[in-house]
A = this chain, B = another copy of it.
């Protein structure tokens, strides 16, 4: 038989820890936000939490291609938080023009609510990371954005043009989307440019019947 509520000790977490834990439980919901990208085994669409893990590790391992002296820790921190707003705002497909028009406001409201669960100092810290990523102006943000673009490219190349094909995206749109790589990490840009062209030229996108 359960003891009455009042007879039990209350949580030893103080206000600060309680806010932090509430935030950390809330963000579990990012695991249910679906992106358009398929897993490489094509079994299902990727979610934003596992995507964030993937690109954080990509940034760690590919940082040698970014501008020397980059603060990799800041890049990784940015990538770990950059998609949290999708818990409220949803994932907007990169090639959805009308969705992207309303994206900014939806995401700003989401940032207010979700980051606002944290104690003030951490709210400010996470907000600054997110703002920096969105602005894409510092070397760290530029590299973070580049890695965020490169990862679905790898998934799509492995899945034979996956979501590009199924959503009727053109090669020019993809190359435009990948263009932040050119300044942030030229070696990775040359690879991306080749890989995108390869997917199209090989007929993987144009001719769905040809896929294995």
Chain A residues near B (Cβ < 8 Å): 1-3, 8-9, 11-13, 17, 20-21, 23-25, 27-32, 39-41, 43, 46-47, 49-50, 52-54, 56-58, 60-62, 65, 72-73, 76-77, 80-81, 118, 122, 151, 154-155, 158, 187-188, 190-191, 194-195, 198, 201-203, 207, 210
Contacts and interface: CB of A to CB of B under 8 A. Distances in A.
Contacts of A62: 20, 24
Contacts of A30: 50, 53
A9 B77 CA distance: 37
Most central of A52, A190, A202 by chain B CB within 10 Å: A52
Given A2-B207, A52-B53, A202-B2, A12 B191 contact: yes
B17 A31 contact: no
* Copies per complex of this chain: 2
Nearest to A204: B2
26 contacts: A1-B203, A2-B207, A9-B194, A11-B191, A12-B190, A12-B194, A13-B194, A17-B65, A17-B187, A23-B61, A24-B54, A24-B58, A24-B61, A24-B151, A27-B54, A28-B41, A30-B50, A31-B46, A31-B54, A32-B43, A49-B53, A50-B50, A60-B80, A61-B122, A72-B73, A76-B80
